[in-house]
Amino acid sequence: MKINRNALAALIAAFFSAFSSEILCADTLQFGVVGSPIDLSANVSETLLPGNVTIFRDSTPLFGTTPDPKQTAELLHHSDTGVNPSPHSNISDAFASSLAESNGNGGVGVSQLIFGRPGLSGNNIVRQMAAQSLWTQTFVYNGTPTVDLKLHLQIPALQVELWGIPPFRDNPSFTETAQASARVDTVITHADGTFAHGGSFEFGLREFETQIPDPLGDFENFADMDLIGTDGALFASLQEDFDFPQDRVRWRIDNVSTEVDLGVLHKGDTLAYVYTLTAEGTTHGFERGYDAFLGDPFGVDVVGDNLNVTVSLADVPEASTSWLILIGFAGLIVWRWRACLGCSVQPTDSPRQSSTACPCPAIDHVGRDEREP
């Protein structure tokens, strides 16, 4: 089950804005920012496309959790269609798995290889599985100085993989996909009830098939990949595994960490963030499939030091060099004006006038004209 993260973030912000008295029982951070307990959920789904025909869907939410004692939401769905081709798990059936824990640990994974039809009749039917782990937390601020909130993320290793990629196709096809991504969405509710988007973040990989026409009228077919997100440093460990047959392509990224600027809070503001891990894939079967993992949905490999929020005073802009130049130029103009004003009231036969030129060229020129015979 895929969650509309923007709508959910807005709903959460509105909820906690209306019931902020409950938040006041939670932890207080620096500068008086009050953070709520963490809500989390594990979600899995299996769907037939087009038409979004639901085969299976389940969600396990937990509300008001704390890192200690640890609380866990987890789901494992076994599909009745296809097998698990990935060595990432010893489960034999195709599956979707989600894990979310209150200490920030979690992971998602999907894996499905179908030898026949994906279901129902027709040649254009696609089977999709998705797993999603979600955390959300809200912060209320009633202090005076403007503050900035940052979220520390420890993103686990991810991989995407396609199985049974044919070297040729007789028509374009975009149905074989595998995707794993991490995302943060933030909504800020101001004291007057208006909403604003806070900081956001997205990171991951999407693998898919690409076709190029050949001279014989067919299409050369190969696996392609897109980067999700724009922070190039996070993709430094990106690599493709080459020890597979040509019809199997896997891309991987090691675990990474980053800081997400959630936004700036003024007195009376409420901020809610949603952190989501998603793994999903699609296939139309006939000996084709996929797997996608982000972290370990079975809890063996644990992610630590995740979802830590820090609060600092917001940066106050300093006077730039250009402003300093303008201030100095204005001071020079004032000095010249006052000097010229003194020249204009002096007699023309003043010893000072004759010995020292007036700093104002216009007045000095007039004085010389008056002294000429």
Rounded CA gap, 119 and 130, in Å?
A: 17
Rounded CA gap, 307 and 313, in Å?
A: 20
Q: How many CB atoms lie within 10 A of CB 342?
A: 13
Query: Could you give the angle at which helices 361-371 and 321-344 cross, rounded to 10 degrees?
Result: 20
Average pLDDT over residues 137-149: 96
Residue 297 phi, psi (nearest 5): -70, -5
C-alpha 308 chain-centroid distance: 16
Residue 292 has what pLDDT? 98
| Contact in structure between 156 and 296 (CB atoms under 8 Å) | yes
pTM of the model: 0.80
| Contact in structure between 260 and 150 (CB atoms under 8 Å) | yes
Residue 173 has what pLDDT? 75
**Alpha helix positions (H), the chain:** 5-18, 20-23, 321-344, 351-355, 361-371
342 pLDDT band, cuts 50/70/90, is low
Does 312 or 369 have the greater pLDDT score? 312
SS3 of residue 332 by DSSP: helix
Mean pLDDT (the chain, rounded) = 84
In this model, does residue 363 exceed pLDDT 50?
A: no
In this model, does residue 5 exceed pLDDT 70?
A: no
Rounded CA gap, 114 and 85, in Å?
A: 10
